[in-house]
């Protein structure tokens, strides 16, 4: 539950380039974790897995749009 709570709050911490989101700003997420009293070290692997899933989903959506 702690990882999901941090994930929900961390949606403002995406690094974005010309091609879209590239990943989370971990320094920002770590600071946010401290603010909401979540042990970032304990949930890091879970957050990283959610990040990869989200990036893959956005990549699939982008590929589908370009095929139209």
Whether this prediction's pTM lies above 0.75 is answered by yes
What is the 3-class SS of 32-68, one letter each residue?
HHHHCCCCHHHHHHHHHHHHHHHHHHHHHHHHHHHHC
Q: For residue range 9-50, list pLDDT tens digits in order.
A: 999 999 999 989 999 999 999 999 999 999 999 999 999 999
pLDDT value of residue 19 = 86
Q: For residue 58, what are the domain limits? A: 2-67
Q: Which of 65, 26, 62, 59 is nearest to 45 (CA)?
A: 26
**For residue 28, which phi and psi values (nearest 5 degrees)?**
-65, -40
Number of folded domains in the chain? Answer: 1
């Amino acid at each position: 539950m702690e990882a999901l709570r941090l994930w929900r709050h961390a949606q403002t911490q995406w690094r974005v380039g010309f091609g879209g989101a590239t990943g989370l700003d971990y320094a920002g997420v770590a600071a946010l974790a401290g603010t909401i009293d979540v042990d970032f070290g304990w949930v890091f692997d879970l957050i990283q897995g959610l990040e990869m899933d989200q990036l893959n989903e956005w990549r699939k959506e982008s590929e589908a749009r370009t095929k139209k």
